[in-house]
Amino acid sequence: MKKSEVILTKYSPLMAVDAKLVGSDGSPTETPRVYSLCRCGESMFKPLCDGSHAQAEFVGEREDSDKPPLEYYEGKEITIVYDRFMCMGAGYCGELEAVFGTHDAPKYDPDAASAAEIIDTIKKCPSGALTYIFNGKHEKDYCRETCIVVEKDGPLHCQGDIELKDDQSSDALLPDADHYTLCRCGGSKKKPLCDGSHETNGFHG
């Protein structure tokens, strides 16, 4: 099987190689083997690039590379593992408020719900910020298919075995998991990774 890759520079769009693209409606999008995805937020043909980054003089340089250590919240049955740098505010954890608290008052209480409930919630986290340790094993790989999924008005969800290559060594910041999210609004301070800026800058696409 060919290796799926996303390749970019500070000034370029995202070049996807041998990566299946799934639209925001859940349907596969027909693409050539190599295709370009917009990350400046200006393309008229989102999620695909139309060259707008050149006119916009887009510079995709990361402003924040300060990745703190992983945080471990150990409970009687399950340990929650939190990669704070990767969090892009998807909000699924807020569905289990007893464990994760709220956006304004977050917490991590692994004994406030069953292990099954916590696992189901963590598996909804698209960025890889949340993983878990259960029965002595760090569970972090649970994507069934390798593909790039477009979130409406949001980032690109890279799922499965997709290698990230760029001139800022962004691969060193990725979670040790088989999923992560890439910015396509152009506003993230953690480029090319998503930091949730699409929620506040009016991005649509």
Based on the fold, state whether residues 132 and 31 are members of the same structural domain: no
For a pLDDT cut of 90, what percent of the chain falls above it? 96
Strand-pair partners of 165: 7
Q: How far apart are CA 126 and CA 165, in angstroms?
A: 20
Based on the fold, state whether residues 126 and 78 are members of the same structural domain: yes
For residue 2, pLDDT over 90 is answered with no
**What are the structure tokens assigned to 66, written together?**
């300060």
pLDDT tens digits, one per residue of 126-138: 999 999 999 999 9
Query: Which residue, 173, 193, 177, 174, is CA-closest to 185?
Result: 193
Based on the fold, state whether residues 127 and 93 are members of the same structural domain: yes
pLDDT at 104: 86
Instruction: Give Cα separations from 190 to 29, 169, 196 (angstroms).
Output: 27, 12, 10
> What's the domain range around 158?
4-63+144-199
Mean predicted confidence (pLDDT) in 67-77: 97
Rounded to two decimals, what is the model's pTM?
A: 0.95
Counted domains in the chain: 2
Instruction: Give the domain-ending residue among 115, 139, 163.
Output: 139
Based on the fold, state whether residues 132 and 162 are members of the same structural domain: no
Based on the fold, state whether residues 22 and 82 are members of the same structural domain: no
Based on the fold, state whether residues 79 and 96 are members of the same structural domain: yes
DSSP 100: H
- pLDDT band, very low/low/confident/very high, at 1 (cuts 50, 70, 90): low
